Chains A and B, each alone.
Chain A
Amino acid sequence: MAFGPHLLLATLEGLVTAAVLALTALGLSLVFGVMRVVNVAHGEFFMLGAVLAWAVASAFGGHPAVGFVAALVVAPLIVGALALVADLLVLKRLNYNPEATIVATIGLLYIIQQAALSFYGPEARPVEAPFSYRVLLPWFGYSGYKLAVIGASILLLLATWFVLARTRIGMVMRATQYDSETAQAFGIPVDRVYAGVFAVGAMLAAVAAVLIVPTSQAHYLMGRDPLLLSFIVVIIGGLGSLRGTVVAALLIGVSDGIISVFFSPTLAKIIATLAVAMVLVFRPQGLFGTAAR
C-alpha cells in the first residue's frame, strides 16, 4: 500500500479511537468537574461495559444486532446502578474528600477487576458486530461498523452537550460545579446531583465500551489503557472542560493511531505520558481550560 492510503487508514483507525476516547474521557471529566473526584476506577466501568455486553449479547440468540442493541441498553444501566451504589456506600461517606476518594477508587478498581475475574474469568471473548457491511474505498475496504461507531459517538457527544448547556438538569449540574455550597443554599439537592453525575460518568464509559467491543475483545484487564488515555485527554483538555475534552480526544486518538502505525506503540505511549505529566506540571489548567478558581 502506498503512503497516502496507509495514512488514510491510520487516520481512520485514529478517529475510531478518538470517538471512543472522547466518550470515556467525557465521563471522567464530568465526574471531576462537578464532584472534584478523580475516579481511578473509571477504566473498570469501561471494562464492565464490555464484559456485560458479552454477557447480554450471548444471552440473546438470533441475529447479532438483537443482542447488541440489548447490550447497548442494558450494560450501561447496570454499570450506572453499580456506580450509584459505590457513590452511596463509599464516596458519599468520605464527604468527597479528594485524596480519600482517590484511595477508595483504587480499592474499587481492584474489587471490580476481582469481580470480573471471578464471574467472567480470565479469557478474552469476542462480541459479534450488529452488521458486517464493508465500505469499499478505492484502495481498501473498511469496516462500516467502525464508521458507525464514529457516528454514534458524535451523536452521544452532541446529546451530552445539549443536556449540559440547554436543559434544567444541565443548569443544576453547572451550578453545583460552580459553587456547591451556594447551590445547596438555593435548594439544589447536591447529594443527588453528585450521585447522578457519578452514575452518568460511569455510563458514558460503559457505552463507549459496548460500542468498541465488537472490534476488539472483552477481557478483565482491558480497563487500563482507557483509564490512562482518558487521564491524558482530560488533563490536556483541561479538567472539567467539555470542548477541551473533545478536542484533546481527537488530538490524542488520531496521533496515537498514526504514531502506532508508523512508529513503536511503546514509544508513542512514553512520549504521550511524559508530555502530559509536563503539561500538568507547567500548565495545570490544561491546554484548553481556564485557570482553576
Chain B
Amino acid sequence: MKNDDGAGKAITLHAGVIAVLVALNFVLPDYHHGVMARVLVLAVYAMGYNLLFGYAGLLSLGHAMFFAAGLYGAGLTMYHLNWGVPSAFIAGLVAGVLLSLVIGVLALRTKGVAFMIVTMMFAQVAYLLVYYFGTWTRGDEGLVIQQQARAIEFGATRLDLTDPTTRYMAALLLFSVVLVITLIVVRSSFGRVLVAIRENEERTKMLGYDTFANKLAAMVASGAICAAAGAAYVILFGYVGSTLASVQYSILPLLWVLLGGAATTLGPLVGTVLMYYLIDGSSDLLKAYLPGWNVSYLGIVGVALILLVLFFPKGLLGTVRDRFARWLP
C-alpha cells in the first residue's frame, strides 16, 4: 500500500487539511463553529478507533469504555478534587492507558467474533459501573463542570477554554497532534506490522514478529487516543454523563470510520463530519416531512450501517484510494 514517492504528497495533503481547519475558525458562523469543535474532538476518538480497527484489523465493539475512561478520569478529578485542566487531562489519559492495557491483555486472547463480544461485554461492565458508583458520577444525569474550572493558566495569561475561538483552537490542536502521530505510526515499521497482522496473522507470526505484543501496543495506543478525546470532551464542553459511555458510543466510531474509510488517516475526520451533519441536517427535514414519526438518530444510523457494509465496505477515502490516488495514506 505504500510507495515512497507518496510521502511528499501525503505531507502536503495533511498540512493542507490542517490549514483549512485553521482558516475555518475565522469564516464559520457561530453555530457551525461550535459543531466543528465538537466534531474535531469526536474525530480524534474515531482516529483512535481507526488505529485498531483499520490498521490492525481488530473490530472492537467496546471502545466507549476508553472514551469514558478519559471522560471520567478527567471529569471526576476536576469535579471532586478540583484538579486543574492539565493534570485532569493527564488523569484521563492515564486511566485510558491502564484500562486498555488490562482489557488488551485479556481480550486479545480471543479472535474475531469472540473479540467483538468480549470488548462489548467489558464496555457494558464499565457502563454499569458508572451507575453503580452513582454517588460520584450521578449516572445518566451526569456532572457539569463549572465554567471557571475550564481554563489553563500560564503564569499571568489565562486561556479560557469556554471561549469559542480558544475552544476550537484547542480541539484543533489535539486533532492535529493526533493526526500527525497517526501518520507517523502508520508509515513506521510498527504500522506496517499491524497491517501485516490484519492481512495474515499466521504468516506475520511465522516471519518472527511477536503479534500479541504488537496488537497490545496498538490497543494501548488506540485506548490512549480515545481517552484523550474523552478527556478533551469533558474539558471543552463541560459535561460528563453515562450516555457517553453507552453502547451507542461504541458503535458511532465504527460508523464514522466505515463511512470515511477504514485504514485511511483522514477517513475518520471525513466520516465524523459527514455523519454529524447528516444526522443534524436530516432530523429537521424528517421532522418537517414526516411529522409524528419520531425519526431520530436510530433509523439514520441503522440505514447508514447497512448500506455501508453492503455497498461501500471501503468507505469514501478507501474508494478514492483504490480508484484515483494510490499514495493516500
Interfacial residues, chain A to chain B (CB-CB below 8 A):
36, 38, 90, 93-94, 98-100, 102-104, 106-115, 117-118, 121-122, 228, 231, 235, 264, 266-267, 269-270, 273-274, 276-278, 280-282, 284
The residue that B118 contacts in the complex, of A36, A111, A115, A280, with Cβ under 8 A, is A280
Query: What are 16 A-B contacts defined by CB distance under 8 Å?
Result: A38-B113, A38-B116, A94-B310, A103-B258, A107-B305, A109-B302, A110-B298, A111-B302, A113-B298, A114-B296, A114-B298, A231-B117, A269-B128, A280-B121, A281-B109, A284-B114
Which residue on chain B has the smallest CB distance to residue A113? B298
The answer to whether the Cβ of B327 comes within 8 Å of any Cβ in the partner chain is no
- CA of A118 to CA of B153 in the docked complex: distance in angstroms? 50
CB pair B121 A106 closer than 8 Å: no
Looking at the assembled complex, report how far the CB atom of B192 sits from the nearest CB atom of chain A, in whole angstroms: 22
**Which residue on chain A has the smallest CB distance to residue B107?**
A281
Q: How far is the CB of A28 from chain B (nearest CB, A)?
A: 11
Kindly state the separation between the CA atoms of A111 and B299 in the bound complex, as whole angstroms: 5
In chain B, positions 102-142 with a C-beta closer than 8 Å to chain A are 106-107, 109-110, 112-114, 116-118, 121-122, 124-125, 128-129, 131-132
Give CA–CA (A270, B113) in the complex, Å.
22
A98 adjacent to B112 (CB under 8 Å): yes
Q: Are B117 and A235 touching (Cβ within 8 A)?
A: yes
CA distance A231 to B110 in the complex (A): 16
- Alpha-carbon separation in the docked complex, A266 to B114 (Å): 24
Chain B residues with CB under 8 Å of A38's CB are: 113, 116-117
Of B122, B258, B294, B295, the most chain A CB neighbours within 10 A belong to B294
B303 contacts the other chain (CB 8 A) = yes
Is B151 interfacial (CB 8 A cutoff)? Answer: no
CB atoms of A121 and B124 under 8 A apart: no
B254 beta carbon closer than 8 Å to chain A: yes
* B125 and A274 form a contact (CB under 8 A): yes
* Interchain CB contact (< 8 A) of B310 among A93, A98, A102: A93
State A158–B135 Cα separation when bound (angstroms). Answer: 47
Q: Taking A273-B125, A280-B110 as contacts, is the C-beta distance between A99 and B59 under 8 angstroms?
A: yes
Q: Is the pair B305, A104 in contact by a Cβ cutoff of 8 Å?
A: yes
Minimum CB–CB distance for A191 against chain B, Å? 17
* Interchain CA distance A13-B251 in the complex, whole Å: 34
Is B320 part of the binding interface, using a Cβ–Cβ cutoff of 8 Å? no
Give the contacting residue for B309; candidates A104, A114, A117, A266; CB below 8 A. Answer: A104
Say which residue of B61, B294, B304 sits within 8 Å of A121 (CB atoms): B294
Contact A110 B113, beta carbon cutoff 8 Å: no
Asked whether B306 is an interface residue with its Cβ less than 8 Å from the other chain, the reply is yes
Closest to B254 in A: A103
Q: Is the CB of A99 within 8 A of B116?
A: yes
| B90 sits at the interface (CB 8 A) | no
Given B107, B128, B302, which contacts A266 in the complex, CB threshold below 8 Å?
B128
Give the complex CA separation of A109 and B112 in angstroms: 21
Q: Which residues of A contact B124 (CB under 8 A)?
A: 228, 273
What's the minimum C-beta distance from A90 to chain B, rounded to whole angstroms?
6
In the assembled complex, which residues on chain B have CB atoms less than 8 Å from the CB atom of A112?
A: 302
- Taking CB as reference atom, which chain A residue is nearest B301? A110
B319: shortest Cβ distance to chain A, in Å?
17
With A111-B303, A113-B298 already in contact, the answer to whether A273 and B310 are too (CB < 8 A) is no
Q: Which residues of the other chain, B, contact A280 by a CB distance below 8 angstroms? A: 110, 114, 117-118, 121
Asked whether A108 lies within 8 Å of B302 as measured between CB atoms, the reply is yes
Expressed in whole angstroms, the Cα–Cα distance for A163 and B163 within the complex equals 67
Nearest Cβ on chain B to A289's Cβ, whole angstroms: 13
Asked if B238 is at the interface (CB within 8 A of a chain A CB), the reply is: no
Asked if B299 and A102 sit within 8 Å, CB to CB, the answer is no
The answer to whether residues A106 and B251 also contact, given A93-B310, A118-B295 and a CB cut-off of 8 A, is yes
Distance, CA A220 to CA B293, complexed state (A): 14
In the complex, the chain B residue whose C-beta lies closest to that of A112 is B302
Q: Would you call B121 and A117 a contact (CB within 8 A)? A: no
Chain A residue numbers with a CB within 8 Å of B110 are 280-281, 284
Q: Contact at A106–B305, with CB atoms within 8 Å?
A: yes
Which single member of B125, B129, B299, B310 contacts A110 (CB below 8 Å)? B299
**A274 and chain B: residue at smallest CB distance:** B125
Q: Which residue of B lies closest to A36 (CB)?
A: B113
Question: Is B313 part of the binding interface, using a Cβ–Cβ cutoff of 8 Å?
Answer: yes
Cα A113 to Cα B302 with chains together (Å): 9
Which residues on A sit within 8 Å (CB–CB) of B296? 114, 117
User: Is the CB–CB distance between A270 and B117 below 8 Å?
Assistant: no
Which of A235, A264, A266, A267: most chain B CB closer than 10 A? A266
Which chain B residues lie closer than 8 Å to A273 at the CB level? 121, 124-125, 128
Closest to A267 in B: B132
Q: Kindly list the 10 A-B residue pairs having the minimum CB-CB distance in the complex, ordered from nearest.
A: A110-B302, A107-B305, A114-B299, A111-B302, A107-B306, A277-B121, A114-B298, A118-B293, A107-B302, A110-B298
With A102-B61, A266-B128, A270-B128 already in contact, 18 other A-B pairs whose C-beta atoms are closer than 8 Å: A38-B117, A94-B309, A98-B112, A104-B305, A110-B305, A111-B298, A111-B303, A112-B302, A115-B299, A231-B117, A235-B117, A264-B132, A267-B132, A270-B125, A273-B124, A274-B125, A281-B106, A284-B114
